Chains A and B, each alone.
Chain A
Amino acid sequence: MFESLTDRLQATFDTLRRRGKLSDADVDTALREVRLALLEADVNYKVVKGFIKRVKERAIGQEVLKSLSPGQQVVKIVHEELMETLGEPGRLNLGMQSPAVIMMVGLQGAGKTTMSAKLALHLRKKGGRPLLVGADVYRPAAIDQLETLGKQLNIPVYHEGPDGSPPEVCANGVALGKKEGHTVVILDTAGRLNIDAMMMDEIKAIKSQTEPIETLLVADAMTGQEAVRVATDFNEAVDISGLVMTKIDGDARGGASISMREVTGVPIKFLGTGEKLSDLEIFHPDRLASRILGMGDVLTLIEKAQEEMDQEEAAKAGQKLLEGQFTLDDFLSQMQQIKKLGPLGKVMEMIPGFGQAAKGVDMSEAEKDLKRIEAIIQSMTMLERQRPKLIKASRKRRIAAGSGTSVQAVNKLLRDFRDMQKVMGQLRKRGGLKALGGMLGGGNNPFGL
């Protein structure tokens, strides 16, 4: 959507610098870029205004003008200020009372039902005994949906069918949770418009009857300028205690989270990051700030890699690389590991600086290349994979036929692999491989995670 804010600001400053000394007015010019970036990211207009004012105060105080790279300086300030606005990652407060009641509220289609199930799973992983309560009697099959999800997770769901009265259903659910020794009761309420007075009265009634310790506003990360109003209205009605941003796995910059956080003052507690019920993340202000600025998200990538990759396997591969014994077999397993991270395009986007580069490349082609390489290696014998030098003309023909590719493709792979080994050898001589090995090893994470 927009190139990195850093580049844009640097370009602005470079132009200005040619005129000689930078002035306060020049900072204003740069801040206009920041303003546009934030508006494009769906941060609310008014929130942006206040934000820019705060950034300006800091920028002027910090001698940005004398700095060699004022663009980067301004971005740093903006990033810090964004993080400060986003606040500390909110933790779920379950209190001392059991069961702890969590009420989920929000607009239609924000993702409350899915999020309720995700949260239940998350809390069970932490040792809790969750009970889900289906209080959406309006949307067709909403209760069925919650029940299906409950079955998938083997978590009980309480409901009274589509004819129940939501406040009663919730109160009964909490009573049942207490009786049956559940530690957490999650109330999945119907989606409602913040201006629908009757429906807002309903969640007020649910709140007063069940006294939830957490009232979470579930909001779509793609929400636009109205985020402010939605958050304010829900907050006024039921005094929300936390925000949950869903569908953050799309490519919306998620500026709504800033707006909502700013007007309610309540922390962001969770992010919904995918369709799987385990796709729930604790909120990290630094990552969201980077995302809002379009700066990539290398931390998420590393974390994902750690989650999805086989650590032992990776450690072994790292060791082999260090010792110069990396074979085509190891190469194949590395490739398969990377594939687990998701579509290449998405992986690339998470690497700072690659997001833009990745846009120009047809990732589906790259994806096909990977598949071809996989097929070629799989068409080799074990011995060939260990000792690629054995592969001469006749073997090449066999491999090409077996993988449905051409001899040229086999040649290219072998050449690439040789080149890689060469580079590795050079790195090894310079001792630069230690760090790389560590990275692949995963065990001692260079990023200190």
Chain B
Amino acid sequence: MRFLILAHFQLFPTTQHPPPNTHYPTPNTQKIMFKSLRDSLKKTRQSVFGQIVNALGAGEIDEETWEDLEALLIQADMGVETTLFVVERLQNRVRDEGATQTDQLLALLKEELRAILVEPDDFSMEEPREITVVLVVGVNGSGKTTSIGKLANRYKQVGRNVVVVAGDTFRAAAIDQLKVWSERADVPIIAGSPGQDPAAMAYDGIRAARGRGYDLIFVDTAGRLHTKYNLMRELEKIYSVCQRSVHQAPHEVLLVIDAPTGQNALTQAKQFKQSVAVTGVILTKLDGTSKGGMVFSIYRDLGLPVRFVGTGEKLENITPFDPDQFINGLFDASEPARPQQEESLTEQESPPDESTADDQSKKRRWFSRS
């Protein structure tokens, strides 16, 4: 298997990337003995999901196949639970369908992953309605304001009468940031002053927007960690104010999560959903190396669909979420290989220390407990 990975890399000798820098900052003495591990870690530098394609390239399905698969899924931030779920489903299907070759596995894997990303209901932002209020929430730095700017632009382009409400009255210069985006998107902004009560701001903003005949209102909110009790209460208040301002509002509550986030994304989604009935997710920063595997857990546990993905810093870098494209993206080995001088170091890795029959029962026990 490892040989196959190696072979694959050598298929792409013309790499744009510089050879891996073998220089490390002066390690302290304790670190020296872990150097080999650190070197082997460089392997993660290839796109993780891209490796699946390679790892499953050809050959018989054996223990190692499953182990590799598990490793790859976990490294895509899919989480232990979802990974074990997917692997188990695959194992059952392989047994039932009598698949023996690894190249049959990829198609099955894609199917299983696709089955998790259930097609969501109709999207109220797309429906014709007199007025649509969209509340945008999330933890600090996930990209709420940027996403609103991009979405405002997107819906303005299709002829909607868009306005943005600057509801982040807490963070320094958050209002200015949204102002710049509103100028770029050429949509009006309703803003108060820093330090103002955000719920009052949201209420006034929505009423004003309604009075002026806008039909799509984005309400920005300050970033907050879902563990901050008082801030979540504040958000609940903003939510209930939205409810009172327009019939059936807010029509969408979009939670912004950035792709580099790990397992905490699920906890975030749970908490925000509990507080303000989140209806969908915007997955940002998908232009990095992170693949956003945690959205599978969010679909599975909470049934929350991803609605948009953010893929860059430009105004047009937002697209509706396309599950098929997303999954294909996971397997896209777009990353050219680097010279793999460290490949030999994989020999020094610990021998497989899991995935025995005993382990399977263990996993199941672990699984059933959660």
Contact = CB atoms under 8 A, between A and B. Distances in A.
Given A141-B177, A225-B262, A87 B30 contact: yes
A239 B262 contact: no
A200 to B, nearest CB: 11
Interface stretch (A259-267, A328-336, A419-427): A259-267
Interface in B39-62: 40-45, 48
A33 to B, nearest CB: 8
Interface in B143-183: 143, 149, 170-174, 176-177, 179-181
A387 interface: no
Interface stretch (A37-45, A171-179, A202-210, A316-324): A37-45
Given A40-B263, A141-B177, A141-B179, A194 B172 contact: no
Nearest to A46: B41
A226 B173 contact: no
Contacts of B149: 140
Interface size bracket, B side: 35 or more
Contact of B267 (A1, A228, A263): A1
Contacts of B354: 32, 35
A144 B74 contact: no
Contact of B44 (A36, A46, A139, A146): A46
Contacts of A405: none
A195 B44 contact: no
Interface stretch (B20-28, B209-217, B300-308): B20-28
Interface in B351-370: 353-354, 358-359, 362, 366
A28 interface: yes
Interface in A66-111: 84, 87, 107-111
A250 interface: yes
B355 to A, nearest CB: 10
Contact of A249 (B48, B171, B227, B262): B227
Contact of A250 (B43, B176, B227, B350): B227
Interface in B65-87: 71, 74-77, 79-80
A257 to B, nearest CB: 12
A87 B28 CA distance: 10
Interface stretch (B6-14, B93-101, B283-291): B283-291
B227 A39 contact: no
A222 interface: yes
B33 to A, nearest CB: 9
B25 A148 contact: no
B264 A42 contact: yes
Contacts, number: 213
Contact of B263 (A145, A224, A236): A224
A41 B267 CA distance: 12
A20 interface: no
A84 B33 CA distance: 13
A196 to B, nearest CB: 9
A61 interface: no
Given A47-B41, A220-B261, A251 B227 contact: yes
B74 to A, nearest CB: 5
Interface string B256-300: 001011111101000000000000000001011110011000000
A232 B38 CA distance: 10
Contact of A226 (B180, B288, B350): B288
Residue of B20, B170, B264 contacting most chain A CB atoms (<10 Å): B264
B177 A145 contact: yes
Given A87-B30, A225-B75, A249-B225, A46 B40 contact: yes
Nearest to B335: A195
Given A229-B289, A232-B42, A264 B25 contact: yes
Given A42-B262, A224-B260, A262 B75 contact: no
Contacts of A240: 25
Give chain A's interface residue range (CB within 8 Å of chain B). Answer: 35 or more
Interface in A197-254: 220, 222-230, 232, 235-236, 239-241, 247, 249-253
A226 B289 contact: yes
Contact of B172 (A148, A222, A241, A364): A148
Interface stretch (B134-142, B197-205, B319-327): B134-142
B4 interface: no
Nearest to A1: B267
A395 interface: no
Nearest to B258: A109
Given A111-B141, A264-B25, A152 B172 contact: yes
B261 A222 contact: yes
Interface stretch (A49-57, A286-294, A440-448): A49-57
Contacts of A262: 34, 37-38, 41
Given A87-B28, A107-B260, A226 B225 contact: no
B264 A252 contact: yes
A142 B24 CA distance: 32
B358 to A, nearest CB: 7
A69 B16 CA distance: 54
A224 B294 contact: yes
A108 B142 CA distance: 8
A128 interface: no
A107 B44 contact: no
A111 B74 CA distance: 26
Contacts of B127: none
Given A44-B75, A265-B28, A145 B173 contact: yes
Contacts of B290: 224-226
A145 B171 contact: yes
The 5 closest A-B pairs by CB, nearest first: A224-B262, A109-B141, A140-B180, A42-B262, A148-B172
9 contacts: A31-B353, A39-B74, A45-B71, A140-B180, A142-B177, A148-B173, A236-B20, A251-B226, A251-B264
Given A140-B177, A225-B48, 12 more contacts: A28-B353, A46-B40, A46-B41, A46-B44, A52-B350, A107-B288, A109-B140, A141-B176, A145-B173, A194-B289, A225-B74, A275-B140
